[in-house]
Every structure is written in structure tokens, then in C-alpha cells.
Amino acid sequence: MHRIFQERPEILSPVFDALGIALPDKAAAYAIPSDVTETKPMARHVDTVLRIDPSDGDDFILAVEAQERRDLKKESSWAYYVAYLQAKYGLPVLLLVVCRDRATTKWAVGPFECGARGWTAQRTYPLVAGPDNLPVITDERTAAEKPAMAAFSALAHANSPEHGAILDALGRALAGMDWSAASYFYQFLDSALGGTPAGEKWRHIMTFVNYFPGRGTVLEKAYIEGEARGEAKGILKVLEVRKLTVSDDVRERITSCTDLDTLADWLDRSGTVECAEDLFTDDTAAPTDAAP
């Protein structure tokens, strides 16, 4: 049924007429390659793709795109993403675009249409989250209860006057959190906010907190953890160069240690011990008295 359009393009006008779409009788039609396979692979990457399995309905795919500015190429790319993911997984697809610029947010809502002669063949309606519809979280208790949402609020409002109050609340909340959780949000925001005024504000907050050593602050723990990893790596490298066997237990003890003084001692000893296990032997103990 499709080949006749290639071989007898004169049927285009009456067929379009039957569909209520105007097309001149003398419109030219040219057959072009119909293979949409890329002979040279074209890299196409959605920022994040999630399969959602809700408790109250059917599964669906969620494609998430972070958009910093208006990009006319996205108007076709987003339609492609939705169609491709639906074909690949056989599930409904939603597209979520996240922005932190109001002009970009206004543009991203679309809809983006593909069509001709007054007829729309495809229309893309992104869901858009940005500074106009995401909450401003400036309450420390809320930030502590929902740190991920507070961090996302900071990103969405990074260009808004409220960013300072959001980051202040989040900084106080992180100070009272478990280190493993707090370190993620510190590093995440440090990277995501970049060189923006909000990024500078965030680094100032965390540096100010770190002026009080011994309090277990995020930056203090990050520094100690980084130093410990470096020392452990050095110890293992020396043992490797000396071709000493390192058991899993020894490796685990070295890499899990966070006491910098102990690690420094092990590093000094790693160049002289006869076996890796001797790292943990206290050679400083006083020798026993010789027998008379």
C-alpha cells in the first residue's frame, strides 16, 4: 500500500484531498532513501531514562532532560526520544524537562509540532519543572527531612534571589546529617551549581562551617577521607612494587582505615617489612631481657 506513492505520485493530490489537506495538483514528489538506519552511528543520549512502576497503575518510561537554554534542535530530538523509547520498551513515555531559567521554562513547555499543509503528524508536550512551579525550601526542618528535594530546589532557583536562603537552610540541615548522606549532597551541589552565584554561595557556606575543626563537618570529613584514600593507595603501591603478597584481609584493613597517623606509620613501614602482615606488628615494643 505504500509503494504506490513512490511509483504513482500523482495519487498524492486526491488522497490528500480526501483527508481534507490541500495539496496542488502539480506538486513535485521525489523518492528519497527510506532507510532510517544510521550507517555511521549518530550518538543520541537522553540525560536520564527511568522505568516507573507505580503501585496504582501501569508501568511507564520517564525521560528526563536538563535544559539550560533554548535549543531549537531539541524540538525534534525530544520527539525522537519519546518515539524511540516507546518503540523500544513498548510502554507509554513521558518527557520531563527541568530548567532553572524562566525564559527556557516558558519555551520548553511547547507544544512542539511536526506537520505540513495545516496537518499535524506529531505533537510533543513535555512536562516542565522550573522556578515557577518548584517550591522554595528555606525551612531547615523541611530540608533535613527532604534533602534531595531541597537540593533540587536550590538548583531550580539558582538564578533566583531566594537561592541564598535555600542554601543556608540546606547547609544547616546537612551539618546534622549522617556523613555518608551529607557528603553526597555537598559534592552534588558543588558540581551542579558550578561557577554560578549560587555555587559561590554554597562553597562559602561549607568553608565557613569548616572553620570549626573537630566538629565533624562535611568539608573536614571530606578532607580526611581523601587524605586517607591517598595514603592507603600509596601503601598498597609500595607493597606491590616490592612484590609482597597482599591478602584481602590486609587490603581491607588498609583501605578502611581513616586514622591518618596510623596510615602514615604503615606507609613508612611498607618499605621495610618482610611481609604485608608485618605492617600491623608493633616493632617499637621494648625487647625482652636476654636469658642469663
Give CA–CA dist 287/1, Å, rounded: 97
The cell numbers describing 90, all together, are: 513498548
- pLDDT at position 222 is 60
Give CA–CA dist 70/112, Å, rounded: 13
- pLDDT at position 289 is 43
The cell numbers describing 77, all together, are: 530530538
Predicted TM-score of the model (pTM): 0.61
Region 54-64 average pLDDT: 82
Domain ranges of the chain: 1-34, 44-132, 140-209, 225-280
For 2-30, what is each residue's pLDDT tens digit? 666 766 777 667 777 777 877 676 767 76
More confident residue, 92 or 12: 92
Is 41 a residue whose pLDDT tops 50?
A: yes
For 186-214, what is each residue's pLDDT tens digit? 888 888 887 778 888 888 777 655 434 44
- pLDDT at position 129 is 85
- Count of CB atoms within 10 A of residue 195's CB? 7
In eight-state DSSP terms, residue 114 is E
- pLDDT at position 221 is 61
Give CA–CA dist 107/230, Å, rounded: 47
- Torsion angle of alpha carbons 85, 90, 91, 92, nearest 10°? 70
Closest CA to 174 of 219, 134, 213, 226: 219
Bridging pattern class, strands 60-66 and 93-98: parallel
Give CA–CA dist 82/92, Å, rounded: 9
Share of the chain above pLDDT 90, in %: 15
- pLDDT at position 208 is 56
Binning pLDDT at 50, 70 and 90, where does residue 82 land? very high
Give CA–CA dist 239/125, Å, rounded: 59
More confident residue, 8 or 69: 69
Those residues with Cβ within 8 angstroms of residue 90's Cβ, 6 or more apart along the chain or in another chain:
none
* Helices and strands: H and E segment counts in the chain: 12, 6
Q: Tell me the average pLDDT of the chain.
A: 80
For 116-175, what is each residue's pLDDT tens digit? 888 888 999 998 888 888 888 899 898 888 888 888 888 888 888 888 899 989 988 888
Phi-psi bin for 30: left (phi > 0), alpha (psi -120 to 50), beta? beta
- pLDDT at position 285 is 41
Give CA–CA dist 76/114, Å, rounded: 8
Instruction: Provide the CB-side half-sphere exposure for 78 (13 A, CA).
Output: 30
Locate cell 554560578: which residue?
Answer: 196
The cell numbers describing 66, all together, are: 536538563
For 218-229, what is each residue's pLDDT tens digit? 555 665 676 788
Give CA–CA dist 108/68, Å, rounded: 10
More confident residue, 160 or 289: 160
Q: Are 202 and 189 in contact (CB under 8 A)?
A: yes
Among 50-54, 93-97, 109-113, 273-277, which is the least confidently predicted range? Answer: 50-54
